[in-house]
Structure 1
Amino acid sequence: MEFTGESLDEVLIDLYQALLGSKDRNVGTRGSNMEMLGTALCITKPRSRLSRSENRGKLFSALGELLWYLAGSDKLEFIEPYIRAYRKEAIEGVVPGAYGPRLFSMRNNLDQIANVTKLLRWKPSSRRAVIQLFNAEDIALDYPETDDPSFVYPETPCTISLQFHLREGRLHLSANLRSNDAFRGLPHDVFCFTMLQEMVARRLGADLGNYLHYVGSMHLYDDTAEEARHYVEEGHQKVVEMPPMPEGDPFALVDTLLAVEKRIRNGERLVASDLLSDPYWADIVRLIQVHWERDEHRLNELKGEFAHPMYRMFIDGRREMRKRAPTPR
């Protein structure tokens, strides 16, 4: 089944309606779910990567995941403050299926992002600009002979590959996934992969093309079905795009962003515009600050500092989420 829209919200509404009406069911590692096999999504304005819905606006956790990728890290201590669920996948503090090492230091320290860029500069029409995330070794496991339903196999990447297509000055991205949790995982995947798409496009001096997302098993777990229904009932949201990424090579700023994130994580009070002069990247720093900030007065200050007004709604949404969330143990 195919779903096309300008924004993440447009695609999600139609997808959730289809999944909620699906009679096909499966029982996976994380429980019973409604499933559709062979699902294709197309977002024609990939900067509309953020849901404007109250219960789908996962900006801060998605940004944390992107930074984790860019750090080339598989360490739980980095990602857990953004996404606690990774705790269940970690083995001795390491998340085996983490994408960062696979993107930037695959076998023999291959930087796949750099290699794709070199290839497309040399031959813009290439069909070989493919990044591999799922390895043959990921299923070469010694599976135990057991019917114990509590046994959990090591997690492997849901994403098989990312393929970049440079056509007529526009960079399109095709993400191929073996499996996708439509409620928890898909919004994060769209954010992280379209941000990588735009970063590579800027490095190449290209415009942003379509984002294409192909999934073998698209599913909606029973424990999130009611939330998906509420989301559908909210109706279509106005399409609002993140501002365009500035020209130049964004990957040259990654070390700076990661160093700033570490300082914010450690409790330093920083002025974003003093660290990164471009308003786009200063706003990214402010979003990191909002995630870690607990003082209401400082949150109000940060809200007023954003160069792009679209981010302000996410601060209000984060406050509401904190009010509803149980006290961490």
Structure 2
Amino acid sequence: MTTRTIPSQQLLRERRPADLYRVPLRARLADPAFNTMTIAILLVAIAAVAYPLYFIVIASVSDPNQIYEGKVWFLPAGFTLEGYQRIFADPAIWRGLGNSVLYTVMGSIISVGSILGAGYALSRKDLPGRKFIMLLFIITMFFDGGLISRYLVVRDLGLLNTMWAVILPGAIGVWNLIIARSFFEHSIPDELREAAQLDGASDFQFFFRMVLPLSKPLIMLMLMIHVVGNWNSFFDALIYLNDDTKYPLQLVLRNILIQSDVAASGNLSGDVESYAAAQRVAELTKYAMIVISSLPLMIALPFMQKHFTKGALIGAVKS
């Protein structure tokens, strides 16, 4: 009598699905419980981030007295656009908006162009002294001359009270340079450059025609970082600019807020109604200014998010 060997696949077909996929009750409940808990935590985190932004928006069109009384939670109370009307009636706002757009565009172009060029050069193994040059960049991450030394350098270069005083001192971030160098090292193979050289392409032609088109995630990452940084920057303008016609929007809004607070504080010695009116204006302009300064980035950044994530992972994981 001979025994017949059943192939493993046939044996699997003959067994009942319940025998194959019989899982203990605890294991079957583990995944749904984990998923439910994860979703709940994520919803709480989203609410914790989104609700303050939503509250700022509804508070900017609500009566400050209603806000103080705790009547503003999910819908505006005492709807008013007075805060926006007061802000946009000020010509300094429009001038500051134009300055911010100029500083952001020029600063981002200069910063991204410099980082891409320097990062690609430092990624080339045939660059003489590239390790020493990279060491000089890294040293600046740990040692800083301080604000006074930077101010003296900007002054001696004749950049005070100019657009370049806001753009050039912080044009290149060493951390971003490291990300760019790592991206080029691991994403642009040497064989591709050798093939381009055999076809007669120079280094500049290879960089502009082949490297840059393959580096769109990195370019979008750098653009996003520098657009956000340049748009929100006001400290350099506060230090290096003396002409208020050259102030960026963030600095203009800061000055308006300070003036509103000072006006409200100056009415402490007067009647209560004047102080309450001044405080009301200060609160209206405060919420409206937050919305105005944040809205452009909130509109633009979602369209760049996927490129930001991809570029950050490529530049960071492989570094």
Give the shorter-chain TM-score range: under 0.3
Tell me: higher relative CO, structure 1 or 2? Use CA pairs within 8 A at least 6 residues apart. 2
Relative to the length of structure 2, the TM-score reads 0.25
- Structure showing the higher strand proportion among its residues: 1
Relative to the length of structure 1, the TM-score reads 0.24
- Structure showing the higher helix proportion among its residues: 2
